[in-house]
Amino acid sequence: MSVRLNHAAIFFNEKTGEFHLQGRNFSYIFKILKNNQLGHLYFGKKIHHRDSFSHLFTISPRSNTTCQYEEDESFSLELIKQEYPSFGTTDFREPAFQIIQENGSRITNFEYIKHKIFKGKPKLDGLPSTYTENEDEAITLELVLYDHLIETELTLFYTVFDRFDALTRSAKFVNKGNQRLSLTRAMSVNIDFFDSNFEMLHLSGAWARERHVKIRKLEQGIQSISSTRGTASSPHHNPFIALKRPETTEHQGEVFGFSLVYSGNFLAQVEVDHYGVSRVTMGINPFDFNWLLKKNESFQTPEAVIVYSDQGLNGMSQIYHELYRTRLARGPWRDKIRPILINTWEATYFDFDEEKILNIAKTAKELGIELVVLDDGWFGNRNDDKTSLGDWFPNKKKLPNGISGLAKKINDMGLKFGLWFEPEMISKASNLYKKHPDWLIQVPGRRLSHGRNQYILDFSRKEVIEYIYSMIDNILSDAPISYIKWDMNRYMTEIGSLGLPPERQGELSHRYLLGLYSLLEKLTSKYPDILFESCASGGGRFDPGMLYYAPQTWTSDNTDAVERLKVQYGTSMVYPLSSMGAHVSGVPNHQVHRITSLNTRAAVAYFGIFGYEFDITKLSEREKNIIRKQIDFYKKHQELIQTGKFYRLLSPFTGTKNEVAWMVVSRDQKEAIAGYYRILAEPLPGFKKLVLKGLNPDFEYKIEGLPQTYFGDELMNFGILLDELGGNWKKELTGDFVSLVFALHTL
Ligand code: DGJ
């Protein structure tokens, strides 16, 4: 039995019990084992389908220290690569799941029952996920296993996309018996790779230096990254890892990406065992997770998106970019050109009134900016970060005409208006806290800690979600708002809910996320034309979960051009340029106090969703003229930047680390823009050229500003001499923090 599309196919061979999932360039093969569990056979470059892959199965007991099945001395799960393993029979590696039963047992036995293969991809209940727009875009395998003793069903979902080399996986548990079960681990994916000749790449950092690229060689034992911060996937580790071969580079070689569509506590782990098998598991962090499953209750894990590429890290990233840009992000803004915005945060912080915002808007209009975003400080008595979160009504002292009055005035100037919210939080100094002190996440009798003077609303409670929804809805239905910045600025501590019974306290972090997702779903459904940008102290929640609701994310609070090179480079491992908010800010920079030119600040911000964030009313005429040109340039190339193929050329994390370069090429290869950045001046630097990528070797390109033309093959093999890039070039490249952006097009 098989279902096929143009490139993707799923085969099932009844005789051998084998499943073969084929993407455009990969094969993923597993089988029903003789104990009726699932054994993994192969994941890698596409191979021919055949009647039997039994010769790929390996089980040669190599030591007498393994434990075997009583009825079959040759069978031990320790020696078998598996699909969704359990612990406690004959496998000693960390499992994909664990269930505690009423008698205290943690032993399970899920056996294959049935499966179905069909075109399309079902939605995940209450959770964000990738999707199809018609059923010819993907094929899904739903495979059902059953544990007869505890009468519990486990369904594994696999979807193969036709257009992308991507496979998605998730799992669902349904308790069909009478026992009360506790799910203490429920990962989204498990894959046992044949060997461990890999390096693990992850995106780690901190606030203001998010998603730096880290690479380490796999070693025997467990290597992992995770979040335990509750409200966020975190700036410390992004919910993504890749396994690359040691010889894999940005442009060549094999790599497997694992990305979790989730915004909270996660775990991504690779366990290399004593036979050199690498077990990759990814899902909700089992630490502090305990989900009660009563009769007829179910638990659905988030989705993991697995990408295969033999075209290096760039190849992997391009698959994620296309998939996430077109089949994870949703709504009318998914495909629309995004407005160039001015954000008031670094311009005014809390210190503004209507007149100040209107002055900013007036200058914005003169410059060609399209959207004015009023950041924090517009509501309740909010004049610093100590008060008013939860009181989502305008501060009439600052804004006598309210939000609607201000928004209308800004609209009358021919500009759109956007507004900041931090809906998940509450200040103790607020009316909301006076009314509902029990709505905070807290543990009775324990001291509460705060983050930035604020506390977290208990989003596991429906009444809290409804209240916040109605507050936001009041503002949105009253004022012409085109954009929302959805911020979140603290992590969970003293994790407890006054709305949940004792046996469900271990569910709070995940229930919080489900509440957040439901609120976002409700708001984005009622207001589809509002552009949402998510934010968590900058890029603390830059993950696929949030991208499902908000097609763009504030990449980092660090707006320094040099720091942004690293942040944006790392972010581009997974996330498309269309998702990265990037603003030109003032100097000295507010985070690192570095002074860079207006040109360099824009040259970095062009490679994202462009905007400004400083007091533009204080600009000189000369600076205004530069900004007008920047805006013209960005608008001219915006479609290419938002939808083109992105190539990383020189990394800030390897090599000299002093030069960074990247480029974006249109889908038809007729246009491209490249950015080259040199951080510190070098004495007598030698000859420099930049080798480009992604062009058509046979097309003849013109580089704007240069007299001659170049064939794509020349530019991608010899490259372009930096000295050649015009008379200005040498001048532009004098000193520190310099950059050059150049556009190419065919004749
Ligand atoms: C944190 C965000 O990352 C900033 O951009 C800004 O919106 C502040 N919060 C406002 O409090």
- Write the residue with the smallest CA distance to atom 6 of ligand 1: 345
Nearest residue (by CA) to ligand 1, atom 10, is 376
**Closest among 488, 471, 568 to 522, alpha carbons compared:** 471
Count of other CB atoms within 10 angstroms of residue 285:
24
Please report the pLDDT score of residue 542 as a whole number: 98
Q: Which of 162, 165, 192, 557 is catalytic?
A: 557
CA of 420 to the centre of ligand 1 (A): 9
pTM of the model: 0.98
Ligand 1, residue 345: give the atom nearest the CA.
6
Q: Is the pLDDT of residue 693 over 90?
A: yes
Q: Which of 421, 535, 546 to mutate to test the pocket of ligand 1 (most atoms within 8 A of CB)?
A: 535
| pLDDT number for residue 58 | 86
Angle between helices 402-412 and 354-367 (to 10 degrees): 20
Please write the tens of the pLDDT for every residue from 3-41.
999 999 999 999 999 999 999 999 999 999 999 999 999
User: pLDDT tens digit string along 187-204?
Assistant: 999 999 999 999 999 999
Predicted local confidence at residue 70, as pLDDT:
87
Longest CA–CA separation in the chain, Å: 86
Between 730 and 145, the higher pLDDT residue: 145
Q: Are 231 and 512 in contact (CB under 8 A)?
A: yes
pLDDT at 564: 98
66 pLDDT higher than 80: yes
Among 272, 270, 257, residue whose Cα is nearest residue 304: 257
Contacts of 80 (CB under 8 A, 6+ apart): 33, 39, 58, 59, 91
Q: How many CB atoms within 10 Å of residue 162?
A: 18
Distance CA 555, CA 541 (A): 9
From CA 693, how far away is CA 715, in angstroms rounded?
8
Please give the distance, rounded to the nearest whole angstrom, from the Cα atom of residue 421 to the centre of ligand 1: 10
Q: Calculate how far, in angstroms, residue 431's C-alpha sits from the geometric centre of ligand 1.
A: 22
Give, in degrees to the nearest 5, the angle at Cα 20 between 15 and 23.
Answer: 160
For 286-301, what is each residue's pLDDT tens digit?
999 999 999 999 999 9
| pLDDT of the residue at 60 | 72
Record the tokens describing residue 79, joined without a space: 């020696």
588-636 pLDDT, tens per residue? 999 999 999 999 999 999 999 999 999 999 999 999 999 999 999 999 9
Cβ atoms < 10 Å from Cβ of 71: 7
Tell me the torsion sign for CA atoms 68, 74, 79, 82: negative
Secondary structure class of 728 (helix, strand, coil): helix
* One-letter amino acid of 576: P
What is residue 730's predicted lDDT score, i.e. its pLDDT?
63
Going by the DSSP 8-state scheme, the letter that residue 302 receives in this structure is P
114 Cβ neighbours under 8 A, 6+ residues apart:
143, 144
Q: Are 278 and 218 in contact (CB under 8 A)?
A: yes
Residue nearest to atom 2 of ligand 1 (CA): 537
3-state class of 13 per DSSP? strand
Using the mean position of ligand 1's atoms as its centre, give its distance from the Cα of residue 487 in Å: 7
Q: Using 50, 70 and 90 to split pLDDT, how confident is the model at 732? A: low
Q: Output the DSSP codes for 413-466.
A: TT-EEEEEE-TTEEESBSHHHHH-GGGB---TTS----BTTEEEB-TTSHHHHH
- Token reading at 162: 């036709």
CA of 251: how far to CAs of 124, 260, 311, 477, in Å?
34, 24, 6, 49
User: Binning pLDDT at 50, 70 and 90, where does residue 557 land?
Assistant: very high
Q: Is position 557 annotated as part of the catalytic site? A: yes
Q: What is the pLDDT of residue 63?
A: 63
Q: Is the dihedral of CA 350, 542, 139, 155 positive or negative?
A: negative
Number of H helices, E strands in the chain: 13, 39
Q: Which pLDDT tens digit goes with each residue over 432-471?
A: 999 999 999 999 999 999 999 999 999 999 999 999 999 9
Name the band, by pLDDT with cuts 50, 70 and 90, for residue 686. Answer: confident
Alpha-carbon distance of 65 to 42, in angstroms, equals 26
| Nearest atom (ligand 1) to Cα of 535 | 3
Report d(CA 321, CA 179) in Å as an integer: 44
Could you tell me whether strands 181-193 and 166-175 are parallel, antiparallel, or unpaired per DSSP bridges?
unpaired
Q: How confident is the model at residue 649 (pLDDT cuts 50, 70, 90)?
A: very high
Q: Which mutation among 344, 379, 487 tests ligand 1's pocket best, with the greatest number of atoms within 8 A of CB?
A: 487
Residue 247, Cβ neighbours under 10 Å: how many? 10
Can you give the pLDDT at residue 729? 55
Going from the Cα of 538 to the center of ligand 1, the distance in angstroms, rounded, reads 7
pLDDT at residue 1, rounded to an integer: 83
Q: Cβ distance 301 to 170 under 8 Å? A: yes
Catalytic residue among 375, 487, 543, 560: 487
Which residues, judged by CB distance below 6 Å to any ligand atom, belong to the binding site of ligand 1? 345, 375-376, 420, 487, 489, 535, 537-538, 554, 557
Q: How far is the CA of 300 from the centre of ligand 1 (A)?
A: 33
Q: How far apart are CA 396 and CA 368, in angstroms?
A: 29
Q: Is the separation of the CB atoms in 143 and 156 below 8 Å? A: yes
Collapsed DSSP state (helix, strand, coil) of residue 179: coil
Nearest to 546 by CA among 262, 334, 236: 262
**Is 487 one of the catalytic residues?**
yes
Q: What's the DSSP call for residue 123?
A: P
